[in-house]
Amino acid sequence: MTYESPAVRDARIDVGAVLGAVFKRLPRIILITLLLLAAAFAFLMFQPRLYESSASILIESRGNAYTRASNESAPTNATDASVVSSQIELLKSRDTLLKVVDQLDLRSVPEFNGSAGGGFPPWR
């Protein structure tokens, strides 16, 4: 004789009934999902982007003390801050840094490729 309590019979899940309820409410589920998707898209369109790229052009004269005529005076730079900032932008350029790494073959130097035994900087 087997005895099943009412709690055990209620614990069983009728999969057909659950799927029927989901399919019955499927249009409402799809509508709410699309509304939330549109709201998230609209919200993210007005948020500032975390990662943005920029490009700048370095414009400077190519003349130096060796290419000028001997009687010509050196040009005075009234915009020293702009010259310094343009040089800094050039140094921050990823393409320039990769070109230097390739020209100096820094990938084979243990201090630069991460395989150094003591770590870098040396006081660590």
pLDDT of 26 reads: 95
**Owning domain of residue 32:** 14-45
Task: Tell me, yes or no, whether 24 lies in a domain.
Answer: yes
What 3-state class would DSSP assign to 33?
helix
C-alpha dihedral (28, 32, 35, 36), degrees to nearest 10: -170
At residue 51's C-alpha, the angle toward residues 47 and 56, to 5°, is 120
Q: Are 94 and 56 in contact (CB under 8 A)?
A: no
Task: Tell me, yes or no, whether 41 lies in a domain.
Answer: yes
CA dist., res. 100 & res. 90, Å (int): 12
Task: Read off the pLDDT band of 30 (50, 70, 90).
Answer: very high
- Alpha-carbon separation of residue 26 from 15, 20, 23, 96, 97 (angstroms): 16, 10, 5, 55, 55
Task: Tell me, yes or no, whether 74 lies in a domain.
Answer: no
Alpha helices in 53-117 (DSSP H): 80-92, 94-103, 110-113
Task: Tell me, yes or no, whether 5 lies in a domain.
Answer: no
The candidate with the shortest Cα–Cα distance to 90, out of 48, 66, 59, is 59
The tally of domains found in the chain comes to 2
pLDDT digits (tens, 9 = 90+) for 65-111: 666 666 666 555 555 677 777 777 777 777 877 888 888 888 888 87
Task: Tell me, yes or no, whether 73 lies in a domain.
Answer: no
pTM across the whole model: 0.33
